[in-house]
Amino acid sequence: MSEKRFKKVITNPDTGRKKTVKYGQKGATISPGSARGDSYCARSNAIKGDWRSDKNSPNQLSRKKWRCKGDKSMR
């Protein structure tokens, strides 16, 4: 079982089925605008794949919590 801190329940508008996306590290504190936030944003921006096209991907949801814009974390 995955030990993630946050989860988002997504409902498919066509079928009505629900899907739970778990994201974030358990126990980690989120501090947007800090050096630690900048480091996270730079790392997560370099991840390969098509996560940018899916607004409900775990990486995209985590970047939203950290308020990432490119490689920087904003306040």
Q: Which of 66, 40, 62, 37 is nearest to 51 (CA)?
A: 62
pTM of the model: 0.87
Residue 2 bridge partners (DSSP) = none
Would you say residue 6 has pLDDT above 80? yes
Residue 40 neighbours by CB under 8 Å, 6+ apart: 66, 68, 73
pLDDT in the model for residue 53: 96
pLDDT in the model for residue 25: 87
pLDDT tens, residue by residue, 17-47: 999 999 998 888 889 999 999 999 999 999 9
Domain-wise residue ranges, the chain: 4-73
CA distance 74 to 26: 22
